């Protein structure tokens, strides 16, 4: 190999070494790429449910201590024009070791409008003043946050009787329709005759209250139906069940107009100290 070839090889090798040193000092394999930053993750077992990770830089002072402990998500319902149908979700990570108090957390839209999440009635009661308390999200629980007004006048946690409320009011998203069976899931009083039991078993639908009953039914039968087969009666009978409360809350922001734009929107979730927990954009 002649001297000129050796010089050329040494020159190329020197360039490669220099580039390698520059690459290492500029971050090497951990250097952010063009795709770094917020991104939309795969659905959480729900069609159309998207998650945006919070800011990727762990040294960012704007990031909350709750980062990765709560995820902000949206479905196509965030793009609804009707505030009663527009909603987003917050979901506590199933890997959390403690409950998250999110009542003093706030949400912000692309235009800088901020609003606090607020409290809920753990057991919503009809015809009474409901007592509200902070939302303590257990691992894996979620909150559906509707922009509009509550059909029952309060925020609430779901329970196994909650489906009765959808008979007279419209809820978005719909409430579960799986209330306890008034015949199979309750200890029936001895005063009920077979005609009454057969009628209820045949005619009554789950999570449905019947105002008018056939005149041929006994008074005991009518009294049982009026007292037990409705939301209040269901609560009275089942509120001590171990599975009474469900892992979902409904919060209403009391807005007459939509909060989230139908396109080009950024939704930011802040903790009680104004630090960013998570954010989503579309």
pTM above 0.75, yes or no: yes
Write out the E strands in the chain: 50-51, 70-74, 87-92, 100-101, 106-108, 114-116, 136-137, 142-146, 156-159, 245-252, 266-270, 276-281
Helices within 26-159 (DSSP H only): none
As a whole number, mean pLDDT of residues 17-31 equals 50
Residue 249, SS3 per DSSP: strand
**Residue range 47-72, pLDDT digits in tens:** 333 434 433 433 456 789 999 999 99
Window from 112-126, 127-141, 176-190 with minimum mean pLDDT: 176-190
Domains in the chain (CATH in brackets) are 37-160+243-282 (2.60.40.1260), 182-242 (no CATH)
Tell me what pLDDT residue 260 has: 97
Reported confidence tier of residue 170, pLDDT bands at 50, 70, 90 = very high
- Tokens for 222? 């009518």
Residue 180's nearest CA partner among 108, 228, 127 is 228
Residue 267's nearest CA partner among 95, 80, 42, 71 is 71
């Amino acid at each position: 190999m002649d001297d000129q070839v050796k010089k050329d090889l040494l020159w190329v090798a020197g360039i490669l070494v220099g580039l390698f040193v520059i690459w290492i000092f500029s971050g090497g394999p951990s250097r952010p790429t063009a795709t770094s930053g917020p991104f939309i993750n795969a659905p959480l077992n729900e069609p159309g449910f998207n998650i945006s990770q919070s800011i990727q830089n762990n040294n960012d002072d704007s990031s909350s201590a709750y980062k990765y402990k709560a995820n902000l998500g949206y479905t196509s319902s965030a793009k609804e024009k009707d505030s009663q149908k527009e909603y987003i979700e917050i979901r506590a990570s199933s890997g959390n070791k403690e409950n998250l108090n999110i009542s003093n957390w706030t949400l912000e839209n692309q235009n800088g409008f901020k609003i606090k999440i607020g409290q809920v009635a753990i057991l919503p009661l009809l015809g009474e003043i409901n007592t509200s308390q902070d939302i303590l999200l257990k691992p894996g629980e979620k909150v559906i946050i509707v922009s509009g007004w509550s059909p029952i006048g309060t925020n609430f946690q779901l329970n196994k009787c909650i489906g009765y409320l959808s008979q007279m009011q419209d809820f978005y998203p719909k409430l579960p329709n799986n209330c306890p069976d008034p015949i199979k899931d309750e200890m029936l009083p001895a005063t009920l005759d077979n005609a009454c039991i057969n009628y209820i078993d045949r005619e009554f639908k789950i999570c449905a209250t019947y105002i008018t009953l056939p005149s041929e039914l006994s008074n005991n039968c009518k009294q049982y139906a009026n007292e037990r087969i409705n939301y209040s009666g269901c609560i009275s009978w089942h509120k001590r069940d171990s599975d009474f409360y469900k892992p979902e809350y409904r919060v209403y922001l009391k807005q007459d107009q939509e909060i989230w734009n139908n396109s080009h929107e950024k939704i930011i979730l802040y903790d009680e100290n104004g630090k960013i927990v998570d954010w989503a954009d579309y």
